[in-house]
Every structure is written in C-alpha cells, then in structure tokens.
Amino acid sequence: MHEDVLRDVSSLFRGASAACLDGLLRRTIEHRVAPGTVLFDQAELPNFQIVLVAGSLQLFGRSGTQREVLIEVVRAPDLVIPAAVMSASPYLLQARAPEASHLLLIEADAFREAVAAEPGLAQAVIATLARQFRRMVRQAKSLKLQSSTQRVGCYLLALSERQGTPGQAHLPYEKHIIASELGMTRESFSRALASLEPAGLRVEGQVIAILDRDRLAAVAQPDPLIDPDARDDGPDASSPVLSAGAAPLHRRS
Amino acid sequence: MHEDVLRDVSSLFRGASAACLDGLLRRTIEHRVAPGTVLFDQAELPNFQIVLVAGSLQLFGRSGTQREVLIEVVRAPDLVIPAAVMSASPYLLQARAPEASHLLLIEADAFREAVAAEPGLAQAVIATLARQFRRMVRQAKSLKLQSSTQRVGCYLLALSERQGTPGQAHLPYEKHIIASELGMTRESFSRALASLEPAGLRVEGQVIAILDRDRLAAVAQPDPLIDPDARDDGPDASSPVLSAGAAPLHRRS
DNA sequence: GCATCGCCTTGATGCAGGTCAATGCCGCGC
DNA sequence: GCGCGGCATTGACCTGCATCAAGGCGATGC
C-alpha cells in the first residue's frame, strides 16, 4: 500500500517524520469496507485510530433504541474522531460507511505513543481536532440560531459550492439522513425544499437545481461564522499549525 | 503571580517542561476582569491564547444583530478556545465573563511556537481540544435527540451532581441565559421547570430543589453518552494523554 | 415610603415542525 | 408483465415551542 496511500494522507501527517510514520505503518492494518459497514458503535472504547484514506464515514448519534441522527460526516482524508482515541474515552457516536471506503487502522496505544513521541504528528492531530471542534461549534450555532428552512437553504448553498456546481446541488445521501443531520424530520425536510421553490429551487430527485443563488441566499441568510467555510472544512486548507516548523512529507508530484 | 498561578493551571500544563513554561510566562500578561467584560468578539482573529485561571467565561454565538445564545461555558482551569488560536482562525464565539475572573494572556504566536516546540505542551493542548470537542458532540446530540423538557431535566441533574448537592441545583446564571444554552426561550424554560414540578421539582428563585431524583431521571431520561460526564467535564479528570511521558512541572508544595 | 428597572412568570395565541397515515414513485426480482 | 420493498411526498392533524403581551416580584435609588 505504501507509497500511494501515504500520498493520500500526506496532508494529515505532513508534520511527522518519515521514520515515525514507518514505525506506525508497521502497526497499521489496511482495510477496505463495503457500503453499510459499521466501523464502531457508541459506547465502545476505541481500539484503533482510524484514518480515512478514501471514501467517507457517517457518524450517528443514537438515543436509547429510539431515534438515530447524523451528527457529522468525515470525508477523506481525515482522522476519525481522534478526540475519542486521544482521550481513550468511549465513542459518543456510531461510524458507518455510506460508500466503499478505504481505511487505515492504527492501534490506539501505538498511535497515542507516536503522537507523544513525534511533535510533528502531534501538530497534525491538533490541527485536525481544532478543525473538527470548529465544525461542531458551527453546528451548535446553526441548530440554536437558524430555522429549519434556513438550515436547508444554507446546506444546499454550501453543498453546491463544495461540489463546484453553482447551479445545482447533488444530495450525497438519502434525504431522511440529511434531514437528521440538519436536525429535523424527513417530512419537514421535504416541505422545506418545497417551500424554497419560490426562491428559485427545483427538486429533481437527488439533484436540486439552484436557479437563483442570490434569492436563495436572501431567504437562507447564510452566515460565514455558522455555515461551512472552506477554511474549516477541508483538511487541506492551509493551516498555520501545520506549517509551523513542519517539513512536507511528500511533494504532490 | 508565578507560584500560585502556576499551581492553579498545573493540570493544564503538567506535560510541559519548566524551561518552556518560563519562556512562555515571560510573554504572558496576567489579567483580572470584572463581571460583564467581553474578552473577544465573534469574527476577531485571536491575538492571545487565553488561559482561564479562576472564574468562568461564557461563550456566545450571535446571528446578525438578532439573537444571542450561549453555546458553551468555560470553567477554570482551562484554555479558552484553543481551536481558534491553534488554527489562527476567526473566533466563532464571543467570550464574556459572568463573574470576576483571572486570566493569563499568552501571545498567540508565542503559544503556537511553544506548542510546536514542546511535546508535553502539545499533549496538554490535545487533551483540552479532545475534551472540548466531545462536549460539543454531546451538545449536538442533546439538541437533536432530546426534547426541551428532557434537556432541562438533564441539565438540573448534572448541575446538582457537579455542585455536590444531590437534593438541589443552584442555577449559575440568569434563567434566560440558561434557556439559550439549552436551545430554547426563557418562557419555554420557565414552563419546562413548571412542568417538572409533578416529577418532584420545586423552583425557589435560583435554587431548584430536587425532591425525587429517580422520578426526575425517569422523566428526563438522561443518557451517559449525551449528558455531561465527569470524565469529559473537568480538565482534572485523569486522562491518559497527559500521563504519557510527561514529567510533573511543579510539586504541589 | 414610592417609582423604576430587570428579570421572571403566566396567559393567550399562532406557527413551525413533528406525528400519523395514505399515496406515489422507482428499482428490483421473479 | 407483475408484485414487492424502500424511499419520498403529500395531506390531515396535533403538539411543542415561539411569540406577543401583561403582570408579579425583588432589588435599587430617591
């Protein structure tokens, strides 16, 4: 696996020395999972630091045997909840792969030791934790400050931007999952979409056409301090913490 | 300030070397603030890593000029949003001191450099970031999975536990602030309290008497993976990440 | 004492969004 | 073709919570 996988995750580990990474890789299991695979459940203690190399993971929160809501989505390349691994605390979420994904499993103890031993790796973990924390803060603000319809509108705006298609947004999952991510029911999500049609929206299955971006923005009132920002969203955003004294591991040829 | 202040925050920095800390302290401003002081506003870039030595800070999220909601409370000793400082990104929240508080202001650049240079300090930052991240995850789960009344009940249960008074909970702030922290209006909070009286609750101003803890728990359905856990809540919780190869900085003379 | 101001509570009302149920659509297997 | 199962939509209904408005209570000042 070595060369190509390392390149894929180099943005995560660019602060770590090659020697350290080699040592870590020896205690690493490469893993490919099919759609629907559950990586771990709520309340379990982390056995591995999972590194998402390709694909994505959905993180669900569950209440009793009742409902189950999407709290967060992890997109490659990223670390999967380093907060649980580093604090050796039970997972608060369940992780499921919505698509075929490619993972590295690093023994939790080995990972913690490597982070303690290798300052560059610690920097990378800090950057990841900080980014993920800020995403959660944005979500909390969104849930407390925006209406359902606003959240839907902002979600679509952000989605189309992330997908590089200003005129449309392709919903990445079933609508009921997106609804739970946005803190509402599928029915409310459906109605919110319908209510946004006057604002220049057309629903065509999983594809939402955005006919008038400005009008949608006027209704949804996106806020740069709430709704996703490129800076916080991708691990490849240029982040000062990574450049501080860290030599790049790989050139992206 | 040196000796006593360092003792107060030793749990945060116990991984850092004395030499490093001394260097950092030279670029540190000690600061005492009166109730109501705003430490920083949303959208500002962090100039300092603020260390909360004594007291507490409320972190508010604001939407336009409209509403303002409490997202998080930081209690001493703790770092104030290291996620913003480490990623050198704009604050997503405003910080206000509800009580007289005691702070250290460490220049942001100096702090980032110290974290990069000092593995023990990096470990401490990781532990703090991980704890704060998990708190936000709990909050998101709470907002999406629990009803208003449940959140109020669980809040009171956790509060009384944290205060060491199983029979009562003393509300730390004005009720409208707690309401916004729980994601509801003051009126709804008031009514939620009233609706819990049949479950053995008595409201006496800022003090809420819990006459029947079991009955309250039956109604509020607290979940250990949602509602505050001692482990994630205090920075003094024994956390593996801190003990990994870290020499204690100060003897507690 | 009284007036005032914050904060809280209570009530009346309305709406957003949840719940329940029926229907539609689509893909899949037979 | 048909039936079936999963998902989405739509409608009817209801409820939880927000909103608006009034009043109470306590602290403070004069």
pLDDT at B242 over 50: no
Residue A236: what pLDDT?
Answer: 54
DSSP A67-90: -EEEEEEEESSEEE-HHHHHTT--
State what percent of residues in chain B have pLDDT above 70.
89
pLDDT at B253 over 90: no
B2-139+235-243: CATH topology? Jelly Rolls (2.60.120)
Q: Which residues contact B203 (CB under 8 A, 6 or more apart)?
A: B193, B194, B197, B209
Q: Where are the domains of chain A?
A: 2-139, 146-228
Exposure of A240 in the CB half-sphere (CA atoms within 13 A): 16
pLDDT at B103 over 50: yes
Sheet of B168-170, strand order: B168-170, B207-210, B201-204
Report if CB B209 to strand C is under 7 Å: no
Across the interface, which of B126, B136, B226 has its CB nearest the CB of A137? B136
- Rounded to the nearest angstrom, the minimum Cα separation between A66 and chain B is 9
Report if CB A221 to strand C is under 7 Å: no
pLDDT at B250 over 70: no
Q: Is residue A205 classed as helix, strand or coil in its secondary structure? A: coil
Beta-carbon contacts below 8 Å between A and B: 197
Q: Is residue B120 classed as helix, strand or coil in its secondary structure? A: helix
> Distance between terminal CA atoms of chain A?
18
Nearest CA in chain A to B44: A225
Q: What integer is the mean pLDDT of A187-205?
A: 94
- Evaluate whether the domain defined by A2-139 bears CATH number 1.10.760.10: no
Quick check: bond before A77 cis, omega within 30? Answer: yes
Exposure of A23 in the CB half-sphere (CA atoms within 13 A): 13
Residue A180: what pLDDT?
Answer: 97
Lowest mean pLDDT among A87-91, A151-155, B19-23, B122-126: B19-23
- Rounded to the nearest angstrom, the minimum Cα separation between A169 and chain B is 24
Report if CB A174 to strand D is under 7 Å: yes
- Rounded to the nearest angstrom, the minimum Cα separation between A146 and chain B is 8
DSSP B158-212: HHHHHTT-TTEEE--S-HHHHHHHTTS-HHHHHHHHHHTGGGTEEEETTEEEES-
Q: What integer is the mean pLDDT of B7-19?
A: 76
For strand C, list residues 150-189 of chain B whose Cβ lies within 7 Å of it. Answer: 174-176, 186-187, 189
Residue B59: what pLDDT?
Answer: 98
Residue of A45, A65, A81, A137 to mutate when probing chain B, most B C-beta within 10 A:
A137
Residues A64/B221, Cβ–Cβ less than 8 Å: yes
Provide, in whole angstroms, the distance separating residue B40's CA from nucleotide C16's C1': 34
Nearest CA in chain A to B133: A133
pLDDT at B240 over 60: no
| Burial state string for A11-40 with b = 16 or more CB within 10 A and e = fewer than 16 | bbbbbbbeebbebbeeebeebebeeebebb
Nearest CA in chain A to B225: A92
CA distance A67 to A58: 15
- Evaluate whether the domain defined by B147-225 bears CATH number 1.10.10.10: yes
Strand A78-80 and strand A48-54: the pairing is antiparallel
Each residue's pLDDT tens digit, A120-162? 999 999 999 999 999 999 999 999 999 999 999 999 999 999 9
Report if CB B122 to strand C is under 7 Å: no
CA distance B181 to B204: 21
Return the higher-pLDDT residue of A230 and A240: A230
Residue A144: what pLDDT?
Answer: 97
Amino acid identity for residue A204 in this structure = E
The pair of three-digit structure tokens given for residue A205, joined into one six-digit string: 């299955």
Provide, in whole angstroms, the distance separating residue A230's CA from nucleotide C29's C1': 44
As a residue count, chain A comes to 253
Residue A234: what pLDDT?
Answer: 62
Each residue's pLDDT tens digit, B40-91? 999 999 999 999 999 999 999 998 767 899 999 999 899 999 999 999 999 9
CA distance B179 to B160: 17
Architecture of the structural domain at A146-228: Orthogonal Bundle (1.10)
CA distance B85 to A232: 13
Report if CB B195 to strand C is under 7 Å: no
- Nucleotide minimizing C1' to CA distance for residue A173: D7
Q: Could you tell me if residue B246 is left (phi over 0), alpha (psi between -120 and 50 degrees) or otherwise beta?
A: beta
pLDDT at A245 over 50: no
Report if CB B148 to strand D is under 7 Å: yes
Q: Is residue A63 classed as helix, strand or coil in its secondary structure? A: coil
Residue A253: what pLDDT?
Answer: 31
Each residue's pLDDT tens digit, A166-185? 999 999 999 999 999 999 99
Torsion of CA B42, B45, B50, B56, to 10 degrees: 0
pLDDT at B13 over 90: no
- Phi first, then psi: give them for residue B179, nearest 5 degrees: -55, -45
Chain B residue numbers with beta carbons less than 8 Å from the beta carbon of A119 are 116-117, 119, 122
Comparing C-alpha atoms, which of B64, B239, B16 is closest to residue A226?
B64
Per the DSSP assignment, residues forming a β-bridge with B103 are: B31, B52
